[in-house]
Structure 1
Amino acid sequence: MKVLLCFVVIMLDVARGDMAGECDVAFFYLELGCTPVASDNSTSCPQAFTCPDLHPDPTMCYYRGVPYAANAMVPQNLVKNPCSQRCTCQVYGAPQFECAAVDCVETFDKDLQQCVNVYEVDSCCSVGNVCGKDAIAKLKTCEVDGKIYREGEVFEPKNTMKTCICTAQWNGDIDCGIEIHYQNNILNNCAPMFFKNTRSCPISFKCPSSETKVVRGLNTRAVSSKCVFGNDTLAVGDEVIVEEKCTKCSCEVPPFVSCTQQNTCS
């Protein structure tokens, strides 16, 4: 199986505190090392975030504040994603990380009956399998979205675009690999695009183009922080009209404009 690293990341589904799971775009900002700005109203969610300079030198790649020159490789223990291997900085007019593709044998083996493929946090492919009703019944379980998963099984929680592993301890560190997969988009102040909700990993980024248009709105929350989209500065409540169907892009939690894509248009 050729893993689509920009869409699927193997990780454990345990939040970095309640904020990541309960507040819009917080999961995205926390991975980038941004600091929440306290809200002035009754909600506990931040009204904005303050981010470090994520890309001070356009001739370098950056990951977690560390610069990487062309052809420099990020140490694997820092990537926190076993499906992203040998991630190397490449500068072809714009900096980006390129990672080796991973092929997993179990995807092509359809002969295993009454077996559960077992995965570990630090492995992209399965590390083995458990076969037979009695052996499978002894595995610990996780219950997510009303379904039962056996220890070592992978699954995707509803509306998250995240692939998770059921473990006995059920703990770990979530990492979307935003800087690894979207280096150039961050440099160009593009908007992260989420599927259905903004409390998960982005599925892509939307960058300014001749087909995008900023529409000024009302800042009903009186938030002073601004969003940046390309070279445009937006206030909270402003929207960006894009060509993608069923997609809304707006300045809701600065400093990034965020986009949400739905299955159907309301």
Structure 2
Amino acid sequence: MKSVIYFMVLFLGSAYADMAGECAMVGFYLEMACTPVPAADNSTLCPDAFDCPDLRISPDPNTCYYKGASYKTGSPFPQSVIKNPCTMNCGCSTDYKGVPQFTCAAVDCVDAEGFGDCILTHEVDACCSTGTVCGKDAIASLKTCEVDGVIYKEGQIIEPANTRKTCVCTAQWNGRYDDPTSCRDLDCAVEIHFQDMIFSKCAPVFFANQMGCPVSFVCPTEKTKVIRGLNARGVTAQCFYGNMTVNVGDQVTVEEKCTKCVCDVPPYVSCTLKNSCDD
């Protein structure tokens, strides 16, 4: 019986990982090792909520946390556990307030998208470009990949629609996003860059949709209010926003006029930064 349950957990985890580019907040939660709570009708569609280890932890003032594991200040942090190639040489330290945080080496890519008769080329596990191809004939001889109706040259970065993948066009491109030689999962390293915000139960802010990386977090203030909404899905799980408990469908007010924050997929309130908004 245990083996059957274990298989089902693996199956659901894989299914949700595949939906990370289609379901709001799935990629955000899976990156933090949160466990999906299936929809009330037991379907394998977008989960209703998640159970997150960070919310079960009473933070130690001398400890950093990543994917449920703890790292004391001053202790080494293995690069192998980080799936973001632009987040390197991290360690746990304390800031000027004595708050534990991850500090990482700054990766400064001076790349431009292209210049003159040259294009930059990339490798799937590299943060910055790794080469250059110059000259019309040389560029014309490169293999091409067509994704979402766009033609890419060999070595160019591809961000397929409705996925949490970053790919590179290769000579062996087979059109499959699960090929590790061409694609990798998008990893935002949110716990590394926003640990204090996560433990404070602040809300991640996304640009346009909630499938990419959060651009910032917004925390409650004394002026924050809850605007009651409709819980159309009948979700019993609730969101936490600071010390507040918010029902699914409820909005919370924030000072940023172009940002809308709502409890949609607990346990975190999530916010969307609009392309434009009324004054």
Q: Structure 2-normalised TM-score?
A: 0.79
2:59 is matched with 57
Alpha-carbon offset, residue 198 of structure 1: 0.9
Query: Helix, strand or coil for the counterpart of 1:134?
Result: helix
CA distance in 2, matches of 1:171, 1:16: 18
CA distance in 2, matches of 1:183, 1:260: 20
Rounded to whole Å, the distance in 2 between the matches of 1:77 and 1:149 is 30
Cα separation, 1, equivalents of 2:255 and 2:54: 30
Q: Give the stretch that moved more between structures: 231-240 or 168-177.
A: 168-177
Aligned to 2:7: none
1:258 aligned residue (233, 245, 270): 270
Q: What pairs up with 1:114-129 in 2 under 5 angstroms?
A: 114-129=117-132
The correspondence for 2:155, drawn from 106, 129, 152, is: 152
| Runs of 5+ consecutive residues of structure 1 not aligned to the other structure | 1-14
Instruction: State the distance in 2 between where 1:188 and 1:154 align.
Output: 35
Task: State the alpha-carbon separation in 2 of the partners of residues 160 and 246 from structure 1.
Answer: 26
Structure 1 CA distance for aligned equivalents of residues 130 and 141 of structure 2: 18
Shift in Å at residue 254 of structure 1?
Answer: 0.5
Paired residue secondary structure (2:21): helix
Kindly indicate whether the alpha-carbon contact (under 8 Å) linking 1:161 and 1:203 is maintained by their aligned counterparts in 2: no
Moved more, 63-72 or 222-231: 63-72
Distance 1:239 1:123 in 2: 39
Give a deviation string over 1:51-92, Cα, whole Å, max 9, x none: 223543232111122211112332222222222221121223
Aligned equivalent of 1:131: 134
Q: Distance in 2 between matches of 1:38 and 1:20?
A: 14
Q: Scaled by the length of structure 1, what TM-score is found?
A: 0.82
- Between stretches 173-182 and 157-166, larger displacement belongs to 157-166
1: distance between equivalents of 2:216 and 2:150? Answer: 28
- Equivalents in 2 of 1:113, 1:96: separation in Å? 42
Mark the structure with the bigger radius of gyration.
2
> How far does residue 151 in structure 1 lie from its aligned partner after superposition?
2.3
User: Can you list the C-alpha shifts for 1:145-201, whole angstroms capped at 9, x where unaligned?
Assistant: 433222222366679999754343533222111111111111111111111111121
Contact 2:20 2:163 (C-alpha < 8 Å) held by counterparts: no
Of 248-257 and 112-121, more deviation after overlay is shown by: 112-121
State the structure with bigger RCO (CA 8 A, min sep 6), 1 or 2: 1
Please provide the CA RMSD for this pair.
2.8
Number of positions where the alignment pairs a residue of Structure 1 with one of Structure 2 = 250
The one-letter code sitting in structure 2 at the alignment partner of 1:175 is: D
Among 95, 99, 103, the alignment partner of 1:98 is 103
